Homo-oligomer: A and B are copies of this chain.
Amino acid sequence: MTQSNQYNIAVVGATGAVGQKMLETLEDRNFPIKELKLLSSSRSAGTNVTFKGADYTVEEATPESFENIDIALFSAGGSVSKKLAPEAVKRGALVIDNTSAYRMDENVPLVVPEVNEEDIKDHKGIIANPNCSTIQMVAALEPIKQNLGLNRVIVSTYQAVSGAGNEAADELREQSQAFLNGEELEANILPVGGDKKHYPIAFNALPQIDMFQENGYTFEEMKMINETKKIMHAPALQVAATCVRLPFFTSHAESVYVEVEQENVSVDQIKSLMTEAEGIVLEDDPSTQSYPTPLSSAGKRDVFVGRIRKDLDQKNGFHLWVVSDNLLKGAAWNSVQIAERVIARQWL
């Protein structure tokens, strides 16, 4: 451990959409950094990045990069994590991994601090950061589960392009301008960089996020289903998801239907739970048209909840609208938050 409670930090994928937000978040939180090492694939190595007014050159990540690193924040794709996270652990670093590589590994805690902070202490060198759309949903669901019991969740998502990286955001920007100019739209990235076909996202909606699985669900939908059960320690919780990519840059929104165990629950009780919950901001007043939106939540670390309504048929059914910055609570902030808890609870 480095002296005077400062830590050597590596950020892997420092030039990506999430990596950039990780640096901003480390700076905003005045994270106790002794030395900062910025790493990437060979493609982005050599890029210059500024952190707290100082210039850093991004280096290609190799096993040796992790010598003397205390905490390594990975966000450079699943294959990089699979290859290099074990190398970092071998050299004594704690890895907080933002890819899907280790999330469902039973030896790896999958953590949203407001939900299952205590799981961190069982780590064996790697802690996984959940999928963006999952994090904001479980943050809102946990206080409901804890206080009212939770049987069932049906979610339809409204997801920002930045979840697919800077290239997807560039594509939305270029296609939008082309559309407004009356030109043809060129699609090369979305819905999924590596898939066979690409469709325009500008002024459109794509009901595919990540690749299709054998069961007809997309991988994003299965991530929401499986990760929610793992994070909430609720293997029997019924979770259904439909994930849709939409033409906005930042923040995912979610239309969430839940059924609680307890009887005679009121909307006001759920509103109180949201008001009291850590990391949640209730923004819900129809009389003043108050509800969160992607634009209103972008750049903020909280999860915003609004449009809470009782189902008109199911006595124990409620509808919620959950919005959060997919690059902050959905990625960078949740990762840095895990690092902060690791330090505060001395779980390094």
Q: Is A102 an interface residue (CB 8 A)?
A: no
Q: Which of A239-270 contact B (CB under 8 A)?
A: 239-240, 242, 244, 246-249, 253, 255, 257, 267
Q: Is A41 an interface residue (CB 8 A)?
A: no
Contacts of A212 in B (CB 8 A): 286-287, 289
Q: Name the contact of A246 in the complex, choosing from B158, B240, B295 (C-beta under 8 A).
A: B158
Q: Which of A269-308 contact B (CB under 8 A)?
A: 286-289, 291, 293-296, 306-308
* Cβ contact within 8 Å between B295 and A204: yes
Q: Name the contact of A314 in the complex, choosing from B158, B197, B238, B313 (C-beta under 8 A).
A: B238
Number of interface residues of A (CB under 8 A): 59
Q: Is A206 an interface residue (CB 8 A)?
A: yes
Contacts of A215 in B (CB 8 A): 309, 312
Binds B, one of A2-10, A19-27, A172-180: A172-180
Contacts of A103 in B (CB 8 A): none
Measured CB to CB, the nearest residue on chain B to A247 is B247
* Cβ contact within 8 Å between B240 and A205: no
* Cβ contact within 8 Å between B225 and A312: yes
0 or 1 for each of A301-336: is its CB under 8 Å from B? (1 = yes) = 000001111111110010101000000000000000
Measured CB to CB, the nearest residue on chain B to A240 is B311
Q: Name the contact of A205 in the complex, choosing from B195, B248, B287, B289 (C-beta under 8 A).
A: B248
Q: Which of A179-195 contact B (CB under 8 A)?
A: 180, 191, 195
> What are 15 A-B contacts with C-beta separation under 8 Å?
A154-B257, A156-B156, A156-B242, A173-B180, A180-B180, A191-B289, A203-B248, A205-B253, A207-B293, A207-B306, A207-B321, A216-B267, A238-B314, A240-B312, A246-B247
Measured CB to CB, the nearest residue on chain B to A255 is B156
Contacts of A244 in B (CB 8 A): 158, 253, 255
Q: A177-B180, A195-B289, A267-B216 are in contact. Are A205 and B294 (CB under 8 A)?
A: yes
Q: Is A217 an interface residue (CB 8 A)?
A: yes
Interface residue SS majority, chain A: mixed
A205 to B180, CA, bound (A): 19
How many copies make up the complex?
2
Contacts of A293 in B (CB 8 A): 199, 204-207
Contacts of A307 in B (CB 8 A): 207, 216, 242
Contacts of A158 in B (CB 8 A): 158, 205, 244, 246
A206 to B313, CA, bound (A): 25
A279 to B164, CA, bound (A): 35
Contacts of A216 in B (CB 8 A): 267, 286, 307-310
Apart from A154-B154, A247-B248, 20 more pairs, CB < 8 Å: A152-B313, A156-B242, A158-B205, A176-B176, A177-B180, A191-B289, A203-B294, A206-B293, A207-B253, A208-B291, A212-B286, A215-B312, A216-B308, A216-B309, A217-B312, A240-B311, A240-B313, A240-B319, A242-B321, A244-B253
Closest chain B CB from A304 CB (angstroms): 11
0 or 1 for each of A195-239: is its CB under 8 Å from B? (1 = yes) = 111011001111110001001110000000100000000000011
A119 to B212, CA, bound (A): 42
